[in-house]
Structure 1
Amino acid sequence: MSGQLLLVDDEPGLREAVQAYLEDSGFVVDVASNATEGLELAHQKLPDLIITDIMMPQVDGYQFLKQLREDPQFKTLPVVFLTARGMTSDRIQGYNAGCDAYLSKPFDPDELVAIVTNLLEKQTALRQSTEGDEPHNIADMARQIAEIRSMLMQKGGIPQSASPIKIDFTPREQSVLDLVVDGLMNKEIARRLDTSVRNVEKYVSRLFTKTGTNSRTELVRYALEHGLTKT
């Protein structure tokens, strides 16, 4: 199973060794040498899973995890603690802090790969289970969008001016939003934007979070009602 990972550790030797092993196992791995850099990369790269040390200068692993969980888009992101602190009390503290797995150094790299693979598979299954109410093809989505546009026109028209609601979309988020409103599904959006379906899923999830919606239909309605789309 492939996936985009973020590895945060202040030990260069271990960071390079773990990155190399994970990449040899088929994962794409970005690395950070501290929690501050890790948080910035998390927002830029939208990883599928984060592996982090606990004992780091300035901001430790517990504080880093707290910062992640305070951001709605990272509330359910799998986080693995990879640390030299291996006492039972340390493990309990880690799980109480909200980590999904705890692996003590020294460790077997194959065990880390197994943990990462298992967590990613669970995340994929969870995502698929919550997509049951979504339209399954472009025709269904186009029909629903047409119905939404029709209802809005009957209520006085779709807003043409700038929205009074200010949402800080990145350029890529805006592009994805515009294509969702056009009725395109994730595979087609990925082709249009020359990116992966997984990345499109992440951007759509981000749009849900920023707009407070829970489905593509709700997102389209919200975007049209508030003039958030450029299409």
Structure 2
Amino acid sequence: MSDSATILLVDDEPSIRESVQAYLEYSGDLTVKVASNATDAWQVLEKTIPDVIISDIMMPEVDGYEFLEKLRNDSRFEGIPVIFLTARGMTSDRIKGYHSGCDAYLPKPFDPEELEAIVKNLLERRKTNEKTATDSVKLEEIAQEIRELKQQLGQQQNTLITTPPPIKIDLTPREQSVLDLVAEGLMNKEIAARLETSVRNVEKYVSRLFSKTGTNSRTELVRFALKHGLTE
């Protein structure tokens, strides 16, 4: 894992805090913040938002379940993966932990190598989820831009006395279908599902459309197609 990540370890046993911190920081790509109880952990959270939280369950005053509930009810921390690290190993305790919203449950005594594997797995999963969410936002922005463009062009055409004659570009039936769906604001994955083909094939058709129309983006393609009567 190339990117550095921050871990918050909450445990009231000094030996556990020291050993886990030393082990996880050994590789150099993890930084471990430590706290002896939930109250101290919250003070750390106010200053640093970690990538993963490892928390004991049996702690004085505020136990792990209460700490996790507070995390899940705070928009700043609700998405942080949480690993329960505890001496409790009963099935009922694990079930309660998962129902409380923890992402992994590792009973003591545990293998530090297993803990490290769980931590890195959660980090990779979170990175993937964040990338997917970012890509979805970008795709929706493109779709919205295309919808607005179609609306603007429609308004302009209603105010013009004359419009340029349609330009003749030879498109295959499948290219025409892809162009029409792009103009609707659909993304490649949605087009593939609609046409019952692969995303890779859709990408090829879109590339051909760029080449045939001399455009470089979906927005330019839709603008060109609407202007020259290639789609409605």
Q: TM-score w.r.t. structure 2 length?
A: 0.57
Report the Cα distance in structure 1 between the residues aligned to 2:8 and 2:136, rounded to whole angstroms: 31
How is 1:129-208 mapped onto 2 (pairs within 5 angstroms)? Answer: 129-132=132-135
Root-mean-square deviation (CA), in Å?
Answer: 1.8
Contact conserved, 1:39 with 1:68, CA < 8 A, in 2? no
Q: What is the identity, as a one-letter code, of the residue corresponding to 1:59?
A: V
CA contact (8 A) 1:68 1:74 kept: yes
* Alignment correspondent of 2:170: none
Query: Residues 3-82 of structure 1: matches in 2 within 5 Å?
Result: 3-25=5-27, 26-82=29-85
Q: SS of the residue aligned with 1:71?
A: coil
* SS at 1:106 equivalent: coil
Give 1:98 deviation, angstroms: 0.5
1:119 lines up with 2:111 in the alignment: no
Q: State percent identity of aligned pairs.
A: 59
- Measure how far apart 1:43 and its partner are: 2.3
Instruction: Give the match for residue 218 of structure 2.
Output: none
| Structure of higher CA gyration radius | 2
Letter in 2 for 1:15: R
Shift of 1:74: 1.3
Q: Which runs of 5+ in 1 are unaligned?
A: 136-143, 145-231
Q: TM-score, normalised by structure 1?
A: 0.57
Q: How many residues align?
A: 138
In structure 2, C-alpha distance between the alignment counterparts of 1:73 and 1:17, rounded to whole Å: 29
Deviation at 1:75, TM superposition (A): 1.3
8 A Cα contact 1:52 1:81, kept in partner: yes
The residue type equivalent to 1:110 in the other structure is E
Question: Which 4+ runs in 1 deviate beyond 2 A?
Answer: none
3-state SS in 1 of match to 2:59: coil
> Partner letter of residue 66 of structure 2?
Q
Residue of structure 1 in register with 2:112 after alignment? 109
Matched to 1:103, the amino acid is L
- Structure 2 gaps of 5+ residues are 139-144, 146-232
